[in-house]
Amino acid sequence: MAIRRQFDQRYASFWRSLANFMRQNTGLGIGGIARSGSRKRGDYRPTSDLDVIFWIPGDPRKDQVYPDLVPKLKRILNVIASIGTSYNVINITKEKLDVDLVLVSEWEFQDEHRRDQLEML
């Protein structure tokens, strides 16, 4: 049980670092960012990753955002980052922590993650 708690704390710490990075270091004017998936709901398995969803005003396409974002993630957060094969996600790994970073439209974010964003305030 202590190992699971330790992983939870590491994911929580990395979530805060990633959220701060997205807001302060990307130059993208992030409109919102939220945790999602099984780690957010608390019904995850030890091998589950953390899903992080964000939106940008103007709803740019992923193929415009991801190529600029990956090098910044690598350089500033010192992570392994790559664009997923379907170009839908950025896969991030740091010290056995796995995160999927996904750009969504403002409408989709507001519809699905309004509550998550309010929790951050």
Distance, CA of 92 to CA of 97 (rounded, Å): 8
Q: Which has the higher per-residue pLDDT, 29 or 47?
A: 29
**pLDDT tens figures, 69-84:** 999 999 999 999 999 9
Q: Domain with 79 in it: what CATH number?
A: 3.30.460.10
Q: In angstroms, rounded to a whole number, what is the distance separating the alpha carbons of residues 80 and 95?
A: 9
Q: Taking the model in full, what pTM does it have?
A: 0.84
Number of domains in the chain: 1
Express each pLDDT in 79-110 by its tens digit: 999 999 889 999 999 988 889 999 999 999 88
pLDDT of the residue at 121: 45
What is the phi/psi pair of residue 72, to 5°?
Answer: -65, -40
Residue 46 predicted with pLDDT over 70 = no
pLDDT, averaged across the chain = 85
pLDDT for res 112: 75
CA angle 69, 35, 102 (to 5 degrees): 35
Residue 16's pLDDT band (cuts 50, 70, 90): very high
Domain that holds residue 113: 2-120
DSSP state of 106: H
Rounded CA-CA distance 42/93 in Å is 20
Instruction: Match 């996904």 to its residue by tokens.
Output: 102
